[in-house]
Amino acid sequence: MFEHYQSNKRHFAVDRALIQDALKQCESPAIEALSHFAQAHLWQGGLPVFPILVPPSNNGGWGHLLPMWFKPHERPVPFYTLDNWALFATIYSNSFGPSEEAATLCETAFALKNLVRVVAGSNLLLPFLPSTQGAGLFFRHGMLPFLLSILWLDPPNRDAWLRLHALGAEHFVAAQHLSDDTDPIETLNLLEFAVFARLERNGIETEEAVANLLSPSQEEFSLLTAYQTLFGAINLGVTALANVYARNSLSAWREWAYQEFAFPYRMADFGANAVLDFIRRPKSAE
């Protein structure tokens, strides 16, 4: 996996212009999705954000693990963007599972430009969303912005990304034995707490640290396991919500996104039934 990471370094180097372009492309659909929630934040007709490029050693304690983060209460909102997303891309692409289909789709659609568009788009929504009053969970609430940013890709890449996440969701549910779990939502909630507690202040700031991460010691819940779990849960959350909204139309996100943000998104149980439906669907639905 370390060799895969090293080869990815050539393909996943990021510069400020790339981030600026991604934010610019996502700004209009983000404002549409937010509807009147955006109006309280607009400045000179746009959302007040600006990118700051940082190396792993100056990435707010996230090192190589987090490609973009922000300070939501500052205006304009600073988006701290890691200058190379190779580790992020390596683990993310691995989360889709070992199938030939996933490998082929990654070759055609999992390119840096698309990856930056999805991450920038979801992060652009997050600071301006209505409050969940402290009850929000990344694995469910955070997946609605993530899904929307995927839907803003051009149709061939959008469909490829949705399929990759569906493959990854299947892989994650099987690996975590969630179909046999009596309370998978509680399990996911506990996993979310454990994952982010494990990732925070991780110290993965050098090549040596990356190499050690990708060759972990036999800890019960290693940093690598936590990182892999993060992407598996993202796959599950994105796919579960996509299945719900596909009953109307994923392309018609302008018609349902605002309604979701206006009420269901604010509830503590947002997305729970969607996740349960995916986990417990009949095997013939695969």
pLDDT tens digits along 148-197: 999 999 999 999 999 999 999 999 999 999 999 999 999 999 999 999 99
Q: Strand 68-70 relative to strand 77-82: parallel, antiparallel, unpaired? A: antiparallel
Give me the residue spans of the domains in the chain: 2-285
The mean per-residue pLDDT over the stretch 118-132 comes to 95
Q: Is the pLDDT of residue 285 over 80?
A: no
Kindly report the average pLDDT of the chain as a whole number.
94
Give the DSSP H/E element, type plus range, for residue 70. strand 68-70
What pLDDT sits at residue 215? Answer: 86
Judged against a pLDDT cut of 90, whether residue 219 lies above it is answered with no
Cα 233 to Cα 165: distance, rounded to the nearest angstrom: 10
CA distance 7 to 86: 8
Q: Are 114 and 154 in contact (CB under 8 A)?
A: no
What confidence tier does 283 reach under pLDDT thresholds 50, 70, 90? low
By mean pLDDT, which of 1-5, 109-113, 268-272 is the weakest?
1-5
Dump the DSSP string for 105-119.
Answer: HHHHH--HHHHHHHH
Q: Which helix H or strand E contains 68, and what residues bound it?
A: strand 68-70
Q: What is the pLDDT of residue 96?
A: 98
